[in-house]
């Protein structure tokens, strides 16, 4: 399961780089805006794109590590009831797979439409189909990660 280990670590590294770059360029833009009364509009667009991509990239790692947001009260209850916890985990993964599959399927049409229209971001003029394709790829990797988690949950050596 070497690929699964990569999915547990690499997205966090990439997201960290995106966050660092975004923070750095926004700080530079703030200095330019308030110190020299001249901001660079492309920095705002790039930082937004980096943060949006960061969200979808980190989703892969969160699913791989089963480290999604949770409510402490429910978590405490589920720790005492492993069978119920397992059932909720399976339901969550199944819902994630289903919803992400539906979003990716709908997104393919959007990617194709943006490709045909040659849509681009307003300032940087990056092709939007490429950005949407990256999001779809991240969601597909999240689906694969959830499927691996489900397979592990039902593997012969797994206990409730």
In a domain, 31, yes or no: yes
Domains contained in the chain, number: 1
Torsion, Cα of 80, 82, 87, 89 (10° steps): 90
In a domain, 159, yes or no: no
Helix (H) or strand (E) holding 27: helix 2-36
In a domain, 79, yes or no: yes
In a domain, 35, yes or no: yes
Q: Which domain holds residue 107?
A: 2-153
In a domain, 160, yes or no: no
In a domain, 73, yes or no: yes
- Judged on CB neighbours under 10 Å (0-12, 13-18, 19+), 107 is middle
Its pTM surpasses 0.85:
no
pLDDT at 19 over 60: yes
In a domain, 49, yes or no: yes
Say what the pLDDT of residue 110 is: 95
- Judged on CB neighbours under 10 Å (0-12, 13-18, 19+), 151 is exposed
Query: Are the C-beta atoms of residues 129 and 111 closer than 8 Å to each other?
Result: yes
Query: Are the C-beta atoms of residues 148 and 158 closer than 8 Å to each other?
Result: no
Three-point CA angle 51, 68, 111, nearest 5°: 45
pLDDT at 59 over 80: yes
Q: Which residue has the higher pLDDT, 160 or 33?
A: 33
- Cα separation, 65 vs 116, in Å, equals 38
Say what the pLDDT of residue 141 is: 93
In a domain, 16, yes or no: yes
């Amino acid at each position: 399961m070497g690929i699964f280990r990569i999915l547990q670590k690499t997205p966090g590294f990439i997201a960290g780089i995106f966050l660092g770059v975004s923070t750095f360029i926004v700080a530079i833009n703030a200095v330019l805006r308030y110190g020299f009364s001249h901001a660079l509009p492309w920095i705002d667009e790039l930082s937004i794109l980096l943060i949006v991509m960061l969200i979808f990239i980190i989703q892969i790692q969160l699913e791989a590590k089963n480290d999604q947001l949770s409510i402490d009260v429910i978590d405490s209850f589920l720790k005492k009831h492993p069978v119920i916890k397992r059932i909720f985990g399976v339901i969550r993964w199944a819902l994630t797979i289903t919803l992400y599959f539906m979003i990716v399927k709908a997104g393919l049409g959007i990617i194709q439409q943006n490709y045909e229209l040659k849509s681009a971001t307003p300032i940087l003029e990056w092709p939007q189909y490429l950005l949407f394709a990256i999001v779809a790829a991240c969601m597909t990797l999240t689906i694969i990660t959830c499927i691996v988690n489900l397979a592990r949950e039902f593997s012969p050596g797994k206990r409730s």
